[in-house]
Protein backbone atom coordinates (compact mmCIF):
# COMPACT_ATOMS: atom_id res chain seq x y z
CA UNK A 1 0.00 0.00 0.00
CA UNK A 2 1.52 3.32 -1.09
CA UNK A 3 1.03 6.30 1.22
CA UNK A 4 -0.35 9.55 -0.06
CA UNK A 5 2.12 12.38 -0.56
CA UNK A 6 1.69 16.04 -1.37
CA UNK A 7 3.11 16.45 -4.87
CA UNK A 8 3.12 14.00 -7.75
CA UNK A 9 6.89 14.30 -8.14
CA UNK A 10 7.64 14.00 -4.43
CA UNK A 11 9.00 10.99 -2.57
CA UNK A 12 8.02 12.49 0.78
CA UNK A 13 6.25 9.92 2.93
CA UNK A 14 6.97 7.05 0.55
CA UNK A 15 7.99 3.53 1.61
CA UNK A 16 10.99 1.74 0.12
CA UNK A 17 10.59 -2.03 0.31
CA UNK A 18 12.15 -2.69 -3.08
CA UNK A 19 13.39 -0.40 -5.85
CA UNK A 20 10.60 -1.87 -7.98
CA UNK A 21 8.25 0.34 -5.94
CA UNK A 22 9.90 3.49 -7.33
CA UNK A 23 10.03 4.77 -10.89
CA UNK A 24 13.32 5.05 -12.77
CA UNK A 25 13.09 8.83 -12.49
CA UNK A 26 12.75 8.52 -8.72
CA UNK A 27 15.68 6.13 -8.56
CA UNK A 28 17.86 8.47 -10.61
CA UNK A 29 16.86 11.42 -8.44
CA UNK A 30 17.92 9.45 -5.38
CA UNK A 31 21.26 8.45 -6.91
CA UNK A 32 22.04 11.98 -8.05
CA UNK A 33 21.27 13.37 -4.60
CA UNK A 34 23.43 10.67 -3.00
CA UNK A 35 26.31 11.57 -5.30
CA UNK A 36 25.99 15.24 -4.39
CA UNK A 37 25.79 14.36 -0.71
CA UNK A 38 29.04 12.44 -1.07
CA UNK A 39 30.74 15.43 -2.72
CA UNK A 40 29.35 17.86 -0.15
CA UNK A 41 29.21 15.51 2.79
CA UNK A 42 29.05 18.05 5.62
CA UNK A 43 27.59 20.96 3.66
CA UNK A 44 25.10 23.14 5.57
CA UNK A 45 22.52 22.49 2.84
CA UNK A 46 22.20 18.92 4.13
CA UNK A 47 23.16 18.93 7.81
CA UNK A 48 19.79 20.05 9.18
CA UNK A 49 17.36 18.23 6.89
CA UNK A 50 16.25 15.93 9.75
CA UNK A 51 17.00 18.30 12.61
CA UNK A 52 15.44 17.03 15.86
CA UNK A 53 13.86 14.04 14.11
CA UNK A 54 14.31 10.35 14.91
CA UNK A 55 14.53 7.28 12.68
CA UNK A 56 13.62 3.98 14.35
CA UNK A 57 15.63 0.90 13.33
CA UNK A 58 14.08 -2.52 14.05
CA UNK A 59 16.91 -5.05 13.94
CA UNK A 60 15.56 -8.59 14.00
CA UNK A 61 19.03 -9.55 12.67
CA UNK A 62 22.40 -8.00 13.53
CA UNK A 63 24.59 -6.14 11.05
CA UNK A 64 27.89 -4.37 10.56
CA UNK A 65 27.39 -1.81 7.78
CA UNK A 66 23.63 -1.36 8.09
CA UNK A 67 23.45 -0.08 11.64
CA UNK A 68 26.55 2.12 11.39
CA UNK A 69 25.61 3.58 8.02
CA UNK A 70 22.06 4.44 9.07
CA UNK A 71 23.20 5.94 12.36
CA UNK A 72 25.83 8.04 10.59
CA UNK A 73 23.29 9.03 7.93
CA UNK A 74 20.77 10.27 10.47
CA UNK A 75 23.45 12.15 12.42
CA UNK A 76 24.83 13.84 9.30
CA UNK A 77 21.30 14.97 8.41
CA UNK A 78 20.89 16.50 11.87
CA UNK A 79 18.67 13.74 13.24
CA UNK A 80 19.01 10.63 15.37
CA UNK A 81 18.74 6.92 14.56
CA UNK A 82 17.44 4.81 17.44
CA UNK A 83 18.41 1.12 17.60
CA UNK A 84 15.53 -1.15 18.58
CA UNK A 85 15.76 -4.87 19.23
CA UNK A 86 12.32 -6.38 18.58
CA UNK A 87 13.04 -9.28 20.95
CA UNK A 88 12.86 -6.82 23.84
CA UNK A 89 9.73 -4.98 22.71
CA UNK A 90 6.88 -7.38 23.58
CA UNK A 91 5.74 -7.67 19.98
CA UNK A 92 3.18 -10.26 18.98
CA UNK A 93 4.55 -13.31 17.16
CA UNK A 94 3.11 -16.66 16.12
CA UNK A 95 4.33 -18.12 19.40
CA UNK A 96 3.94 -15.21 21.85
CA UNK A 97 1.32 -12.66 22.84
CA UNK A 98 2.14 -9.00 22.43
CA UNK A 99 1.48 -5.82 20.52
CA UNK A 100 0.20 -6.15 16.96
CA UNK A 101 1.90 -4.64 13.92
CA UNK A 102 -1.07 -2.28 13.52
CA UNK A 103 -0.70 -0.91 17.05
CA UNK A 104 3.09 -0.78 16.90
CA UNK A 105 3.15 1.02 13.55
CA UNK A 106 0.53 3.57 14.58
CA UNK A 107 2.25 4.39 17.87
CA UNK A 108 5.76 4.54 16.41
CA UNK A 109 4.46 6.89 13.71
CA UNK A 110 3.63 9.36 16.49
CA UNK A 111 7.28 9.31 17.62
CA UNK A 112 9.55 8.95 14.61
CA UNK A 113 9.95 10.40 11.10
CA UNK A 114 10.55 6.95 9.63
CA UNK A 115 10.99 3.28 10.46
CA UNK A 116 13.61 0.86 9.12
CA UNK A 117 13.21 -2.91 9.43
CA UNK A 118 15.83 -5.63 8.99
CA UNK A 119 14.66 -9.23 9.05
CA UNK A 120 16.54 -12.05 7.33
CA UNK A 121 16.43 -15.78 6.70
CA UNK A 122 16.82 -17.22 10.20
CA UNK A 123 14.14 -15.02 11.82
CA UNK A 124 11.30 -16.29 9.66
CA UNK A 125 9.72 -19.71 9.12
CA UNK A 126 9.15 -19.48 5.37
CA UNK A 127 10.28 -17.39 2.43
CA UNK A 128 8.16 -14.26 2.03
CA UNK A 129 7.31 -13.76 5.70
CA UNK A 130 9.73 -10.87 6.04
CA UNK A 131 8.37 -9.11 2.97
CA UNK A 132 4.83 -9.60 4.26
CA UNK A 133 5.83 -8.09 7.60
CA UNK A 134 7.27 -4.95 6.01
CA UNK A 135 4.19 -4.49 3.86
CA UNK A 136 1.97 -4.90 6.92
CA UNK A 137 3.94 -2.16 8.71
CA UNK A 138 3.64 0.00 5.60
CA UNK A 139 -0.13 -0.52 5.60
CA UNK A 140 -0.56 0.88 9.10
CA UNK A 141 2.32 3.35 9.53
CA UNK A 142 1.91 7.05 8.76
CA UNK A 143 5.66 7.43 8.20
CA UNK A 144 7.94 5.79 5.61
CA UNK A 145 8.90 2.14 6.06
CA UNK A 146 12.40 1.47 4.75
CA UNK A 147 13.78 -2.03 4.17
CA UNK A 148 17.17 -2.40 5.80
CA UNK A 149 17.35 -5.87 4.15
CA UNK A 150 14.71 -8.55 4.35
CA UNK A 151 14.19 -12.00 2.87
CA UNK A 152 13.20 -10.82 -0.63
CA UNK A 153 14.84 -7.46 -1.25
CA UNK A 154 17.59 -5.07 -0.20
CA UNK A 155 16.91 -1.72 -1.92
CA UNK A 156 19.59 0.27 -0.09
CA UNK A 157 22.24 -2.22 -1.19
CA UNK A 158 21.01 -2.18 -4.77
CA UNK A 159 21.25 1.61 -4.92
CA UNK A 160 24.71 1.56 -3.35
CA UNK A 161 25.83 -0.94 -5.99
CA UNK A 162 24.60 1.25 -8.83
CA UNK A 163 26.23 4.33 -7.35
CA UNK A 164 29.52 2.41 -7.41
CA UNK A 165 29.03 1.26 -11.01
CA UNK A 166 28.20 4.81 -12.14
CA UNK A 167 31.48 6.00 -10.67
CA UNK A 168 33.67 3.29 -12.19
CA UNK A 169 31.90 2.51 -15.48
CA UNK A 170 29.93 5.66 -16.21
CA UNK A 171 26.39 6.93 -15.82
CA UNK A 172 25.13 4.97 -18.82
CA UNK A 173 25.10 1.28 -17.88
CA UNK A 174 23.04 0.14 -20.85
CA UNK A 175 24.61 -2.81 -22.64
CA UNK A 176 27.10 -3.58 -19.89
CA UNK A 177 27.16 -7.22 -18.80
CA UNK A 178 26.56 -8.41 -15.25
CA UNK A 179 27.55 -11.90 -14.20
CA UNK A 180 25.67 -12.87 -11.05
CA UNK A 181 27.73 -15.82 -9.87
CA UNK A 182 26.83 -18.26 -7.10
CA UNK A 183 29.72 -18.98 -4.73
CA UNK A 184 30.05 -21.88 -2.35
CA UNK A 185 30.24 -20.81 1.26
CA UNK A 186 29.43 -21.27 4.91
CA UNK A 187 26.84 -18.52 5.45
CA UNK A 188 23.60 -19.84 3.86
CA UNK A 189 22.60 -16.41 2.69
CA UNK A 190 19.18 -15.06 1.80
CA UNK A 191 18.24 -13.92 -1.69
CA UNK A 192 17.68 -10.25 -0.86
CA UNK A 193 20.85 -8.60 -2.21
CA UNK A 194 21.17 -10.67 -5.37
CA UNK A 195 17.47 -10.33 -6.22
CA UNK A 196 17.59 -6.56 -5.76
CA UNK A 197 20.63 -6.49 -8.04
CA UNK A 198 18.82 -8.47 -10.75
CA UNK A 199 15.81 -6.19 -10.67
CA UNK A 200 17.67 -2.89 -10.58
CA UNK A 201 20.58 -3.65 -12.90
CA UNK A 202 18.20 -4.98 -15.55
CA UNK A 203 15.96 -1.89 -15.31
CA UNK A 204 19.01 0.23 -16.03
CA UNK A 205 19.73 -1.67 -19.24
CA UNK A 206 22.43 -4.14 -18.29
CA UNK A 207 22.51 -7.61 -19.81
CA UNK A 208 22.31 -10.36 -17.20
CA UNK A 209 23.92 -13.77 -16.89
CA UNK A 210 23.07 -15.79 -13.78
CA UNK A 211 25.40 -18.74 -13.10
CA UNK A 212 24.67 -21.25 -10.37
CA UNK A 213 24.65 -25.01 -9.79
CA UNK A 214 21.48 -26.97 -10.42
CA UNK A 215 19.13 -26.57 -7.48
CA UNK A 216 19.95 -22.97 -6.55
CA UNK A 217 17.16 -21.20 -8.41
CA UNK A 218 16.02 -17.79 -7.20
CA UNK A 219 12.45 -16.50 -6.76
CA UNK A 220 10.58 -17.29 -10.03
CA UNK A 221 8.70 -13.98 -9.89
CA UNK A 222 11.96 -12.03 -9.58
CA UNK A 223 13.43 -13.95 -12.50
CA UNK A 224 10.27 -13.30 -14.55
CA UNK A 225 10.44 -9.55 -13.84
CA UNK A 226 14.17 -9.42 -14.60
CA UNK A 227 13.57 -11.12 -17.95
CA UNK A 228 10.87 -8.56 -18.71
CA UNK A 229 13.19 -5.66 -17.87
CA UNK A 230 15.91 -7.09 -20.12
CA UNK A 231 13.43 -7.56 -22.96
CA UNK A 232 12.19 -3.98 -22.59
CA UNK A 233 15.78 -2.72 -22.65
CA UNK A 234 16.75 -4.93 -25.59
CA UNK A 235 19.28 -6.84 -23.50
CA UNK A 236 20.14 -10.50 -23.04
CA UNK A 237 19.13 -12.58 -20.03
CA UNK A 238 20.35 -16.11 -19.42
CA UNK A 239 20.74 -18.67 -16.65
CA UNK A 240 23.63 -21.12 -16.96
CA UNK A 241 25.15 -23.84 -14.80
CA UNK A 242 28.76 -23.49 -15.92
CA UNK A 243 31.53 -22.36 -13.55
CA UNK A 244 33.53 -20.40 -16.18
CA UNK A 245 31.47 -19.53 -19.26
CA UNK A 246 29.61 -16.59 -17.73
CA UNK A 247 32.82 -14.67 -17.09
CA UNK A 248 33.38 -14.13 -20.80
CA UNK A 249 33.24 -10.39 -21.58
CA UNK A 250 31.58 -9.56 -18.25
CA UNK A 251 31.88 -5.92 -17.16
CA UNK A 252 30.76 -6.65 -13.59
CA UNK A 253 31.08 -9.85 -11.57
CA UNK A 254 28.86 -10.19 -8.51
CA UNK A 255 29.93 -13.41 -6.75
CA UNK A 256 27.91 -14.36 -3.71
CA UNK A 257 26.52 -17.41 -2.00
CA UNK A 258 22.77 -17.84 -1.66
CA UNK A 259 20.56 -20.53 -0.17
CA UNK A 260 18.58 -23.09 -2.14
CA UNK A 261 14.77 -23.02 -2.45
CA UNK A 262 14.72 -26.02 -0.09
CA UNK A 263 16.19 -24.06 2.83
CA UNK A 264 12.78 -23.81 4.51
CA UNK A 265 10.80 -26.86 5.47
CA UNK A 266 8.79 -28.00 8.47
CA UNK A 267 8.38 -24.35 9.46
CA UNK A 268 12.10 -23.76 9.96
CA UNK A 269 15.18 -22.43 8.21
CA UNK A 270 17.69 -25.29 7.98
CA UNK A 271 20.94 -23.38 7.96
CA UNK A 272 23.34 -26.20 8.73
CA UNK A 273 21.91 -28.39 5.97
CA UNK A 274 22.40 -25.53 3.52
CA UNK A 275 26.00 -24.96 4.59
CA UNK A 276 26.96 -28.63 4.31
CA UNK A 277 25.41 -28.84 0.85
CA UNK A 278 26.96 -25.59 -0.42
CA UNK A 279 30.49 -26.38 0.72
CA UNK A 280 30.60 -29.38 -1.60
CA UNK A 281 30.68 -27.13 -4.69
CA UNK A 282 34.33 -26.13 -4.38
CA UNK A 283 34.67 -25.25 -8.09
CA UNK A 284 32.17 -22.43 -7.62
CA UNK A 285 34.56 -19.70 -6.48
CA UNK A 286 35.44 -16.43 -8.18
CA UNK A 287 39.21 -16.45 -8.69
CA UNK A 288 41.77 -14.60 -10.77
CA UNK A 289 41.86 -17.24 -13.51
CA UNK A 290 38.13 -16.83 -14.09
CA UNK A 291 38.31 -13.03 -13.90
CA UNK A 292 40.83 -13.05 -16.76
CA UNK A 293 37.95 -13.99 -19.07
CA UNK A 294 36.09 -10.75 -18.27
CA UNK A 295 36.29 -7.42 -20.08
CA UNK A 296 38.53 -5.99 -17.34
CA UNK A 297 35.51 -6.62 -15.13
CA UNK A 298 34.80 -5.02 -11.79
CA UNK A 299 34.26 -7.23 -8.75
CA UNK A 300 31.31 -6.24 -6.59
CA UNK A 301 29.93 -7.72 -3.37
CA UNK A 302 27.51 -6.44 -0.69
CA UNK A 303 29.72 -7.76 2.15
CA UNK A 304 30.47 -9.50 4.43
CA UNK A 305 32.66 -11.45 2.03
CA UNK A 306 33.16 -15.16 2.67
CA UNK A 307 36.76 -15.09 1.47
CA UNK A 308 38.14 -18.39 0.26
CA UNK A 309 34.67 -19.64 -0.61
CA UNK A 310 32.73 -17.07 -2.62
CA UNK A 311 35.87 -15.33 -3.85
CA UNK A 312 39.63 -15.44 -3.36
CA UNK A 313 41.52 -12.74 -1.49
CA UNK A 314 43.35 -11.92 -4.72
CA UNK A 315 40.09 -10.86 -6.37
CA UNK A 316 38.31 -9.37 -3.35
CA UNK A 317 41.29 -7.15 -2.52
CA UNK A 318 42.40 -6.67 -6.12
CA UNK A 319 42.60 -3.51 -8.19
CA UNK A 320 39.24 -4.16 -9.89
CA UNK A 321 37.36 -4.74 -6.63
CA UNK A 322 35.01 -1.91 -5.63
CA UNK A 323 33.62 -3.52 -2.48
CA UNK A 324 34.78 -0.71 -0.18
CA UNK A 325 33.39 2.02 -2.43
CA UNK A 326 30.06 0.23 -2.44
CA UNK A 327 30.12 -0.16 1.34
CA UNK A 328 30.72 3.59 1.69
CA UNK A 329 27.89 4.27 -0.73
CA UNK A 330 25.41 2.74 1.71
CA UNK A 331 25.86 5.87 3.84
CA UNK A 332 25.23 8.26 0.97
CA UNK A 333 22.24 6.50 -0.61
CA UNK A 334 20.60 6.09 2.80
CA UNK A 335 21.07 9.79 3.48
CA UNK A 336 19.38 10.53 0.17
CA UNK A 337 16.53 8.09 0.88
CA UNK A 338 15.94 9.53 4.34
CA UNK A 339 16.09 13.11 3.08
CA UNK A 340 13.71 12.54 0.17
CA UNK A 341 11.16 10.55 2.17
CA UNK A 342 11.35 12.29 5.56
CA UNK A 343 12.53 15.91 5.15
CA UNK A 344 10.06 18.78 4.77
CA UNK A 345 12.45 20.32 2.23
CA UNK A 346 11.49 17.64 -0.29
CA UNK A 347 7.78 17.58 0.51
Domain contains 29:
yes
Mean pLDDT along residues 281-309: 98
Mean pLDDT along residues 92-103: 81
pLDDT at residue 5 is higher than 90: no
Looking at the fold, whether 131 and 195 belong to one and the same domain comes out as no
Tally of domains within the chain: 2
Over residues 145-184, the pLDDT tens digits come to 999 999 999 999 999 999 999 999 999 999 999 999 999 9
Looking at the fold, whether 188 and 269 belong to one and the same domain comes out as yes
Looking at the fold, whether 318 and 338 belong to one and the same domain comes out as no
Domain contains 260:
yes
Query: Can you give the pLDDT at residue 9?
Result: 77
Query: Can you give the pLDDT at residue 6?
Result: 41
Query: Can you give the pLDDT at residue 86?
Result: 85
Confidence of residue 97 (pLDDT cuts 50, 70, 90): confident
Looking at the fold, whether 144 and 192 belong to one and the same domain comes out as no
Looking at the fold, whether 42 and 66 belong to one and the same domain comes out as yes
Q: Whole domain around residue 261: which residue ranges?
A: 168-322
Looking at the fold, whether 50 and 123 belong to one and the same domain comes out as yes
Q: Are 326 and 97 in contact (CB under 8 A)?
A: no
Domain contains 215:
yes
pLDDT at residue 89 is higher than 90: no
Domain contains 180:
yes
Domain contains 10:
no
Looking at the fold, whether 233 and 339 belong to one and the same domain comes out as no
Looking at the fold, whether 271 and 223 belong to one and the same domain comes out as yes
Confidence of residue 7 (pLDDT cuts 50, 70, 90): very low
Domain contains 30:
yes
Query: Can you give the pLDDT at residue 8?
Result: 52
- List the CATH number of the domain containing 45: 3.40.50.1370
Query: Can you give the pLDDT at residue 1?
Result: 31
Mean pLDDT along residues 190-195: 98
% of the chain surpassing 70 pLDDT: 97
pLDDT at residue 66 is higher than 50: yes
Query: Can you give the pLDDT at residue 92?
Result: 66
Q: What is the mean pLDDT of the chain?
A: 95
Mean pLDDT along residues 32-37: 98
Query: Can you give the pLDDT at residue 3?
Result: 42
pTM for the model stands at 0.95
Over residues 199-242, the pLDDT tens digits come to 999 999 999 999 999 999 999 999 999 999 999 999 999 999 99
Looking at the fold, whether 281 and 338 belong to one and the same domain comes out as no
Q: Measure Cα distances from 231 to 27, 92, 141, 195, 208 in Å.
A: 20, 43, 36, 17, 11
Name which of 253, 260, 258, 323 is nearest 287 in CA terms: 253
% of the chain surpassing 90 pLDDT: 93
Over residues 312-327, the pLDDT tens digits come to 999 999 999 999 999 9
Looking at the fold, whether 121 and 183 belong to one and the same domain comes out as no
Looking at the fold, whether 147 and 248 belong to one and the same domain comes out as no
Mean pLDDT along residues 323-340: 98
Domain contains 163:
no
Query: Can you give the pLDDT at residue 90?
Result: 76
Domain contains 161:
no
Looking at the fold, whether 122 and 210 belong to one and the same domain comes out as no
Amino acid sequence: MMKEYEHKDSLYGRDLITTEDWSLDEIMRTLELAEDMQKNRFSPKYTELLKDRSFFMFFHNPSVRTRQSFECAATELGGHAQYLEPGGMRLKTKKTAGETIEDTAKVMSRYAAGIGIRILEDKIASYGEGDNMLREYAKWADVPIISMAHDKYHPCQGLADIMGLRKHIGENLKGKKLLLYWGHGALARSWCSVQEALLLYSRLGMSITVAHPEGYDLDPEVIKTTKLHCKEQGQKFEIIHDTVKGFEDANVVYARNWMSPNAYHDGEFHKEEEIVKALKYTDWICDEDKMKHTDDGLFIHPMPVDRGHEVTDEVASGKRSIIYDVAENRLHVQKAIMALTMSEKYR
